[in-house]
Chain A
Amino acid sequence: MLALLPQAIIDGVLLGGIYLTVAMGFSLAFGVLHIIDFAVGEWIMLGAFIGLIFTKWLGVDALLSLPVVFVIFAVVGWLLQPLLHRVLSGSRGRPVLMGLVFTFGLALAFRGSALTVFGIFTHSLDTVLSQGSWHLDWGPFFLTVPLIRLAGLVYALAVILGFNYLLKRTDFGLAVRAVAQNKEAAGLMGVDVNRTSAAVYGLYVGISAMTGVFIGAIVSLNAGMGPDLSIFAFFVVVLAGMGYLAGVPWAAFLLGLIQSFFLIYFNPSHVLLALFSILYLILLISPTGMFRKGV
């Protein structure tokens, strides 16, 4: 079974790539805006459906819908953020709790609307990459890499590197980091906190929506897919350390690799047990995430 080792690793990394796409926007939103957005799974789901509509309407490849989906949802996020801000900094007390309730309510509203508008059926997004795969044969080892999953990984890494560049090398990124550190002080330093926050939220929603297109192509999409994705986003971000964006890829790959190895080499019935045992063990030893840099 050693022959399967490269495949197990690749499968794990590709699975981690999927988890990364789901968790990266969520981590950004928490790290900068301190919002735990329960609706992350629903943003992904809506992005997938808009991608589906666009693809079916124009008869084009699903991946071509990515820029359209990003723009639409970035605008939606930009417009929604002030409302979120009102809830979070409201005079009603317990702003963090209200934020959770608000995003949870958003999630329910989106899910219900999607069920009503799009129905209960599961769909699949077709792309030119959907059935392609790379085969590598070398001695006893062989590898099959599904192209669409590879595309998902490339997308995830591109976004993470893009974030890194944005945050470290641009003025906008400087403003974002200032807001994340201390909103009031940032405002005093001349940063337009409202605009910056709206832009970050818009970015997060746009990225999550694009993720939806990939998930729809790699796996499938239906109106109820949100909650499971939200839960996984949560796990990845907690493992990485809440607010520590740089830890998210490592956490995502770790979870993907654990799952992949367990499914291939051990009894698959126990994969969830293994996954959560390791998760809890890590958190027991290091409650602020695997790099001890979380909130």
Chain B
Amino acid sequence: MQRRGWWVAVVLALALGLSLAVGPVLAADEFKIGVITSLSGDLATGGNVTKRGYDLWGKAVNAQGGIQIKGKKYPVRLIYGDDQSQPAQAASAAERLAVQEKVDAVLGPYASGMTLAAAPVLEKYKIPMITGSAESPLIWRQKFRYTFGTIPPVNFTGSAVIKTLAALPGGPKSAVIYGTNDAFSKATAEAFQATAEQVGIKVLKFNILPPKQDLTPLMSAAKVLKPDLIAFGGHDEELINLVKVLTQLDFTPKALLMHYGVTEPAFIQALGKNANQVLGASVWTGSMQTKGTLGWPTAKAYADAAVAEYPKDPADYTQAACSAAGLVFQAALVQLAAVPPLDEAARTKLVEILEKIDLQTFYGRVKFATEGDYYHSNAGLTPLTVQILDGKERVVAPAESAQTKLSYPMTPWNKR
């Protein structure tokens, strides 16, 4: 007994000694930016879209040596926290990044539910977060001081597609709308419903479903109603499953609108020719005529750089928004002119700078709202209607940005 106790004491003393020796670092020569996103779990596909966006920015800024503060360049180190597609893990990751890693800022999650979980934690530790992916208006209604987003809420993006469809000659007159019960998907489905009612499309059925339901019975019920349009709010995998169910039931509506996931390369890869003519919403594509004052000079330059780095995964608007989020931090940190590590006062000042920032990027204009329902989101972008045609994402509306005409109605599955 005594021998064992002696050994325990020695080991503990060594451990204590080592930790003190490594100890706190007085000054850092890099900016530590935490990243919380879904690297595993159901939302991993989307999480990896955001990872590509954040990594591209990290690499680009470090290729120039880093962010220049007071004559010295500070490289950026991205420290990842996997939320595993679960809100509890998102909060836990936020806590770990704040307390253990002591990050200066955070780049936010893919899914709105995760953002809602991490935001209060970061609010407590006063660490600013910009997410390149949150689309649920629920986030902005909470008015988190330290959370910002570069994508407008889904009420803007989603409603634009419905309006485009309504304006088509011989367009859809009836719709069945479903959404999964999570922060983003529910808001998407509700946005679809509200707009449909506004433009005179009759909503025959509207349901919010628990996640991961088998969609066959629902689509069987929808088939009976013979809707012109099926609109679905959900994430990546559910969208793929929905198309599969429709092909199995041999039911082709005149238009199929789904959000979010249509713009992800994985959607086209999984479904092949069945992905064609599916409609989605977006706020950016590589063909836009935007000009960036920081980072990539044009949308095309970013799209090319993205494909060079990730040949199998062309960039979609979420990836672009994530890289833009990095650019916004970059611009704000330069304005702050504070050396890392940032203390609480510096981080609070960073938030004040973010509230006033007005940046032109390859992604479009980034200017966060400072009041109202869309507090701290980037509501100024133009929503686009996109459609998968010939295995590629194409902008079909509004007219100024359209690359080609909207294909309507859809060709039946068994005739492809």
Residues of chain A at the chain B interface (Cβ within 8 Å): 1, 3-4, 7-8, 11-12, 14-15, 18, 115, 120-124, 130-131, 133, 135, 144, 146-149, 218-220, 222, 224, 228, 259-260, 263-264, 267-269, 271-272
**Partner of A268 from B48, B207, B220 at Cβ < 8 Å:** B207
CB <8 Å contact, B216 and A11: yes
Among residues 221 to 241 in chain B, which have CB atoms less than 8 Å away from a CB atom of chain A? 221, 223-224, 236-237, 240-241
CB <8 Å contact, A115 and B40: yes
Residues of chain B at the chain A interface (Cβ within 8 Å): 39-42, 44-45, 47-48, 181, 207-210, 212-214, 216-218, 220-221, 223-224, 236-237, 240-241, 244, 247-251, 266, 269-271, 413-414
CB <8 Å contact, B217 and A224: no
CB <8 Å contact, A122 and B250: no
Q: Could you tell me the distance in whole angstroms from the C-beta of B248 to the nearest C-beta in chain A?
A: 4
**Partner of A133 from B44, B48, B248, B266 at Cβ < 8 Å:** B248
CB <8 Å contact, A259 and B221: no
CB <8 Å contact, A263 and B244: no
Main secondary structure of the interface of B (DSSP, over half): helix
| Contacts beyond the supplied A4-B224, A8-B217, A120-B39: 16 A-B pairs with Cβ under 8 Å | A1-B224, A7-B220, A11-B220, A131-B248, A131-B413, A131-B414, A135-B250, A144-B220, A147-B248, A219-B244, A228-B212, A259-B213, A259-B214, A263-B217, A263-B218, A268-B213
CB <8 Å contact, A264 and B221: yes
**Partner of A122 from B207, B214, B237, B413 at Cβ < 8 Å:** B237
Task: Determine the chain A residues whose CB is within 8 A of the CB of B217 once the complex forms.
Answer: 7-8, 11-12, 15, 259-260, 263-264
A-B pairs with lowest CB-CB distance, top 4:
A146-B248, A120-B44, A263-B217, A260-B217
Of all chain A residues, the one with the shortest Cβ separation from B271 is A124
Of all chain B residues, the one with the shortest Cβ separation from A120 is B44
- Can you spell out 11 A-B residue pairs with CB atoms less than 8 angstroms apart? A15-B217, A121-B269, A130-B244, A131-B414, A135-B250, A148-B248, A218-B248, A220-B237, A228-B212, A264-B220, A271-B209
Task: Determine the chain A residues whose CB is within 8 A of the CB of B221 once the complex forms.
Answer: 4, 263-264
Task: Determine the chain A residues whose CB is within 8 A of the CB of B413 once the complex forms.
Answer: 131
Of all chain A residues, the one with the shortest Cβ separation from B48 is A120
Of all chain B residues, the one with the shortest Cβ separation from A260 is B217
Of all chain A residues, the one with the shortest Cβ separation from B210 is A272
CB <8 Å contact, A144 and B250: yes
Task: Determine the chain B residues whose CB is within 8 A of the CB of A272 once the complex forms.
Answer: 210
CB <8 Å contact, B270 and A4: no
**Partner of B237 from A7, A18, A218, A222 at Cβ < 8 Å:** A222
CB <8 Å contact, B216 and A149: yes
Given contacts A220-B237, A268-B218, contact A120 B40 (CB under 8 A): yes
Task: Determine the chain B residues whose CB is within 8 A of the CB of A1 once the complex forms.
Answer: 224
Among B44, B207, B269, chain A packs the most CB atoms within 10 A around the CB of B44
Report the Cα distance A15→B212, complex, angstroms.
Answer: 13
CB <8 Å contact, A269 and B266: no
Task: Determine the chain B residues whose CB is within 8 A of the CB of A15 once the complex forms.
Answer: 214, 216-217
Given contacts A12-B217, A120-B45, contact A269 B250 (CB under 8 A): no
Report the Cα distance A226→B139, complex, angstroms.
Answer: 31
Report the Cα distance A260→B213, complex, angstroms.
Answer: 10
Task: Determine the chain A residues whose CB is within 8 A of the CB of B216 once the complex forms.
Answer: 11, 14-15, 146, 149, 260
Report the Cα distance A271→B237, complex, angstroms.
Answer: 20
CB <8 Å contact, A268 and B214: no
Among A18, A115, A148, A224, chain B packs the most CB atoms within 10 A around the CB of A224
**Partner of A269 from B44, B181, B414 at Cβ < 8 Å:** B181
Report the Cα distance A130→B236, complex, angstroms.
Answer: 20
Report the Cα distance A18→B218, complex, angstroms.
Answer: 17
Of all chain A residues, the one with the shortest Cβ separation from B266 is A121
Report the Cα distance A135→B45, complex, angstroms.
Answer: 35
Given contacts A11-B216, A122-B266, A222-B237, contact A268 B209 (CB under 8 A): yes
Task: Determine the chain B residues whose CB is within 8 A of the CB of A131 once the complex forms.
Answer: 247-248, 250, 413-414
Task: Determine the chain A residues whose CB is within 8 A of the CB of B45 once the complex forms.
Answer: 120-122
Task: Determine the chain A residues whose CB is within 8 A of the CB of B270 once the complex forms.
Answer: 121-124, 220
Report the Cα distance A170→B117, complex, angstroms.
Answer: 57
**Partner of B247 from A12, A130, A224 at Cβ < 8 Å:** A130
Q: Could you tell me the distance in whole angstroms from the C-beta of B230 to the nearest C-beta in chain A?
A: 15
Task: Determine the chain B residues whose CB is within 8 A of the CB of A219 once the complex forms.
Answer: 214, 241, 244
Q: Could you tell me the distance in whole angstroms from the C-beta of A184 to the nearest C-beta in chain B?
A: 41
Task: Determine the chain A residues whose CB is within 8 A of the CB of B266 once the complex forms.
Answer: 121-122
Report the Cα distance A154→B367, complex, angstroms.
Answer: 58
